[in-house]
Amino acid sequence: MADKAKILLIEDDPTLGFVVKDSLQESGYDVIHCPDGETGFQQFMKHNFDMILLDVMLPKKDGISVATQIRKKNESIPILMLTSKTMDADKIAGFRSGADDYITKPFNMQELLLRIEVFIKRTKKKEDNTPGGFKIGGLNFNYDDLILYNDSEKHQLTQREADLFRYLCMNANKVLKRDDILLNVWGKEDYFLGRSMDVFITKIRKYIKSQPDVDLQTIHGIGFKFNCDPQPL
């Protein structure tokens, strides 16, 4: 790749950390590996990263705490949590702390590389015919800068929140099935992701609550309907 994307890997398993770092470097990424949460956050503060790979179970500072701290400093950098297969509570906590997605251990390296590639591409400016933003009620949504704002309020979105919000804007006033949202925003259908999607829906509802003419409606048993009149910016 022309510009090496810089990735922060925070993983305490030395074998897994070595394998992931080696694979990422072979794929052209610049990687810093940290074995604990405290060191990982210190490295985050020292460098400009394009993405964070963050284990949940870490010595010194757990992954949920690290994600929360990172989000206080940078609300848009993609965070991919590395989670245990059976720890659904950790996954939910990860999303609430600001993580964009998760991958369960043990994972296939090719899947991890594809997930990273998708995130890195999304964070780069897109040169396509998709509007760069929308005006929704009294709010302006800038997709490239991940900001939802007007004169009196400003919300810095995560990449996943912006992806979801843009999909809702582009399909306003349509009944959207949950599975269709998952496929178009997350790239896959998954029972757990269906649950975690509700966390993002709740956040978006919070962002638009000041707009009386904008409503994100739940269609029980089917999905959602974004009631508004978005105007491309």
Token pair listed for 116:
């990273």
DSSP β-bridge partners for residue 79 = 52
60 and 38 Cβ atoms separated by less than 8 Å: yes
What does the pLDDT read at residue 159? 85
Rounded to two decimals, the pTM is: 0.60
What does the pLDDT read at residue 189? 62
DSSP β-bridge partners for residue 136 = 139
Token pair listed for 87:
């720890």
What does the pLDDT read at residue 3? 61
Residue 190 has what DSSP assignment? -
**10-residue averages of pLDDT along the chain (233 residues):** 78 94 92 95 91 92 91 87 73 78 86 86 57 90 91 91 92 92 77 76 95 94 94 87
What does the pLDDT read at residue 2? 43
14 and 55 Cβ atoms separated by less than 8 Å: no
Residue 185 has what DSSP assignment? I
SS3 per-residue string spanning 10-41: ECCCHHHHHHHHHHHHHCCCEEEEECCHHHHH
Please give the Cα distance from 100 to 52 (Å, whole number).
Answer: 10
Please give the Cα distance from 95 to 100 (Å, whole number).
Answer: 6
Please give the Cα distance from 39 to 24 (Å, whole number).
Answer: 20
C-alpha to C-alpha distances, 117 to 4, 5, 188, nearest whole angstrom: 12, 10, 15
Token pair listed for 231:
């105007």
Q: Which of 107, 104, 117 is nearest to 29 (CA)?
A: 117
